[in-house]
Amino acid sequence: MRAFAILASLVPAALAATYSLTDDYVGPNFLTGFTHQAIADPTNGRVNYVNQTTALAQNLTYVSSDTIIMRADDTTVLSASGPGRNSVRIQSVKTYTTHVAVFDIRHMPQGCATWPAAWETGPNWPDSGEVDIVEGVNDESPNASTLHTSPNCTMPSGIVQSGTPVYTNCDATVNGNSGCGVRAPTTNSYGPTFNANGGGWYAMERTNTYIKVWFWPRNSATVPSDVSTSGSASVNTSNWGEPYAYFPNTDCDLASHFAANNIIINLTLCGDWAGAVFNSDGCSGNCVTYVNENPSDFTNAYWNIAAVRVYE
């Protein structure tokens, strides 16, 4: 019986309930449902996060009825001794525990030095947990979805998922805070290939039993109708098929490692990850110098998001 129970925990459980739409972040709703965080970048990037007033005035944030654009400045040559390139980091006003978040993304920031992320975390990091849904650097595909937690949270081997695990220890205090990550199985999940395909949908389901992440490219025949339909009143994740990232509570008490989390969408440049692998990812020179001296190279460093929908 014990062996069967362990084996069953490695398979994505089809026990999901139907979730109802509680927050529909579309267009102007991003300006009221999220705050622009004018904070020092905790990942030490070469960016200067600006407040909402500045972001709107400098066209670093733009909204229409069905779109939010968030970008880095692409006109200013920076002084080496001055602040970083102006950029945007937004955080949801509301926090969430058990929920499903669906991200309808048309374009993500691309280019050398870029480090875009759509993720969730709470106060007192890493004690509140962190779920990285969309994240990568320097145009290196595929996407990686990762958990970062306090100690004593690991993922077992033999998990049934379509993605490829990278690390299994989620503890943020080991392995240089690599967390326990899973790479998506397709290259069009991140960067220029994602953008050339018109983007797609990411979805994350969080319960106390598991956390799952799915990706469907734009125009995919497999995207569920409750995901692709704008403003769907409910979703049923049991119809979504195998996730590419599956994090069960087998060796991690998710309830104690994750608190109520905010949704964050941001773009940093260089920093602890993108800067560290800048040259090995095929980018030339020094990352910070590159960001300072080449503003026009960041013309494509922008998010174009149709919606973020939260179901509870």
Q: How far is CA 158 from CA 54, 168, 219, 250, in A?
A: 48, 11, 31, 12
Phi, psi torsion values for 56, nearest 5 degrees: -70, -40
Q: How far is CA 157 from CA 168, 169, 243, 246, in A?
A: 8, 11, 16, 11
Peptide bond into 142 cis (omega under 30): yes
Half-sphere exposure of 183 (CA within 13 A, CB side): 13
Q: Give the active site residues.
A: 130, 135
Residue 220: Cβ within 10 Å count: 16
CB 60 within 8 A of CB 163: no
The Cα–Cα gap between 143 and 201 comes to 12
Q: Which residues, at least 6 apart from 185, have a Cβ–Cβ distance to it below 8 Å?
A: 142, 162, 163, 164, 244
The Cα–Cα gap between 88 and 305 comes to 14
Half-sphere exposure of 77 (CA within 13 A, CB side): 2
